[in-house]
């Protein structure tokens, strides 16, 4: 499968080929000299190299691109178990902790700018952060202490509903050696009234059972539209300040923007894709968000969340493919 950059070159080559194949007619030369030249050419034929031009239909290119995007989406996305792709609704507030004020504000502004690009409204100064980014020099100890002292913050439904990545992912969050580790908590809510589709254990009707759920009125549920959507509730990010060598604030801010706005699999292998998420494996290759990152975020925040999981994935793939082909 061709890399998007290779695809750009392919499409450009097809345009150039079309121009080359449209050549002006050459007038026949009827002079005596022309006849002599013709006879000579007939007597001593010259070897001509054969040139074979093979083109590809745009439909074939698009089909390969969709396969490539599907591979990316399967690798990068990490929705809560049994749930769809979650995103923020209308606005998001960013908080950065344990960092000098001007540096912290730069990171907040960088993430807020990316949020605005996908249609979100950044929180006002003094807002209650839903994305909390903690810089520390002992990340593993910090993560372990956070999980130990506030387990409900990481698994609010105690594992009975799809609101977090699961116990194995939580163990990875604590033991990770990565420069940045993160944890997303989402909630299925009514698509139209944003009421939680499940109750937390110990609250209201769920005082005696963690399996009960409130009733949510939906408009025209079907096999295509469920009437509920998945909404991000908060994100916890721990940054190991001792492992940032070779990165810039711009790179780091954009990296944090992607994991703050989308449920990203920390174990994703994205070496085949042009993404800022490769920052810590190849810092010199990225100055910030790539076109590919922007296409993904735009698609994530543009697709119809009420659609079934398969339909949602197809729509995201189609949106990315359309944007990529239009840019070429």
Q: What single string gives the DSSP state of each residue in 186-229?
A: EEEEETTT--BSSPPTTSGGGGS-TT-------SS--SSB-SEE
Asked whether residue 79 carries a pLDDT value surpassing 70, the answer given is: yes
Q: How far apart are CA 261 and CA 88, in angstroms?
A: 7
User: E-assigned strands of 23-145?
Assistant: 91-92, 94-97, 121-122, 131-136
- What's the rounded mean pLDDT across residues 8-33? 36
- What's the rounded mean pLDDT across residues 229-253? 97
Q: What local confidence, expressed as pLDDT, does residue 269 receive?
A: 95
Asked whether residue 157 carries a pLDDT value surpassing 50, the answer given is: yes
Closest Cα partner for 276 from 308, 299, 254? 254
8 Å CB contact between 132 and 97: yes
Neighbouring C-beta atoms of residue 125, cutoff 10 Å = 8
Q: How far apart are CA 188 and CA 163, in angstroms?
A: 8
Q: What is the pLDDT of residues 93-132, one digit of tens each?
A: 999 999 999 999 999 999 999 999 999 999 998 999 999 9
8 Å CB contact between 278 and 96: no
Q: What local confidence, expressed as pLDDT, does residue 25 receive?
A: 34
Asked whether residue 75 carries a pLDDT value surpassing 90, the answer given is: yes
Q: How far apart are CA 193 and CA 183, in angstroms?
A: 26
pLDDT class of 241 with cuts at 50, 70, 90: very high
Asked whether residue 208 carries a pLDDT value surpassing 60, the answer given is: no
Q: How far apart are CA 259 and CA 183, in angstroms?
A: 9
Angle at 298 between CA 222 and CA 131, to 5 degrees: 95
Which residues are registered as beta bridge partners of 188?
230
pLDDT class of 13 with cuts at 50, 70, 90: very low
Which residues are registered as beta bridge partners of 181?
238
Closest Cα partner for 210 from 219, 218, 222, 202? 202
pTM value is 0.78
Q: What percent of the chain has pLDDT over 70?
A: 74
Closest Cα partner for 273 from 24, 131, 74? 74
Average per-residue pLDDT for the chain = 83
Indicate the burial class of 207 (C-beta count within 10 angstroms; 0-12, 13-18, 19 or more): exposed
Q: What local confidence, expressed as pLDDT, does residue 54 receive?
A: 59
8 Å CB contact between 114 and 297: yes
Residue with tokens 């949510």: 216
Q: What local confidence, expressed as pLDDT, does residue 15 receive?
A: 35
Closest Cα partner for 107 from 207, 254, 223, 294? 254
Q: How far apart, in Å, are the Cα atoms of 177 and each of 32, 268, 278?
A: 84, 15, 16
Higher local confidence (pLDDT), 30 or 39: 39
- What's the rounded mean pLDDT across residues 303-315? 91
């Amino acid at each position: 499968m061709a890399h998007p950059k290779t695809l750009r070159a392919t499409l450009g080559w097809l345009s150039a080929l079309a121009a080359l194949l449209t050549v002006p007619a050459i007038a026949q030369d009827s002079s005596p000299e022309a006849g002599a030249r013709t006879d000579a050419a007939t007597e001593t034929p010259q070897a001509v190299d054969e040139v074979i031009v093979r083109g590809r239909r745009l439909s074939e290119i698009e089909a390969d691109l969709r396969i490539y995007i599907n591979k990316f989406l399967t690798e990068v996305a990490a929705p809560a178990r049994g749930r769809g792709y979650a995103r923020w609704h209308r606005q998001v507030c960013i908080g950065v902790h344990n960092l000098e004020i001007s540096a912290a504000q730069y990171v907040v502004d960088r993430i807020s700018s990316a949020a605005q690009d996908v249609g979100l409204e950044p929180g006002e100064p003094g807002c209650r952060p839903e994305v909390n980014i903690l810089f520390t020099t002992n990340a593993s100890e910090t993560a372990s202490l956070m999980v130990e002292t506030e387990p409900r913050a990481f698994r609010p439904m105690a594992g009975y509903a799809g609101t977090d990545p699961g116990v194995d992912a939580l163990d990875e969050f604590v033991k990770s050696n990565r420069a940045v580790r993160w944890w997303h908590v989402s909630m299925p809510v009514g698509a139209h009234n944003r009421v939680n589709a499940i109750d937390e254990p110990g609250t209201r009707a769920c005082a005696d059972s963690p399996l009960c759920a409130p009733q949510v009125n939906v408009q025209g549920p079907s096999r295509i539209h469920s009437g509920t959507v998945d909404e991000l509730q908060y994100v916890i990010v721990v940054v190991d300040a001792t492992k940032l060598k070779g990165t810039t604030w711009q790179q780091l801010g954009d990296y944090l923007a992607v994991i703050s706005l989308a449920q990203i699999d920390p174990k994703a292998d994205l070496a085949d894709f042009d993404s800022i998420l490769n920052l810590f494996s190849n810092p010199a290759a990225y100055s910030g968000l790539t076109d590919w990152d922007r296409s993904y975020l735009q698609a994530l925040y543009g697709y119809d969340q009420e659609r079934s999981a398969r339909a949602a994935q197809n729509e995201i793939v189609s949106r990315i493919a359309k944007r990529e082909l239009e840019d070429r």
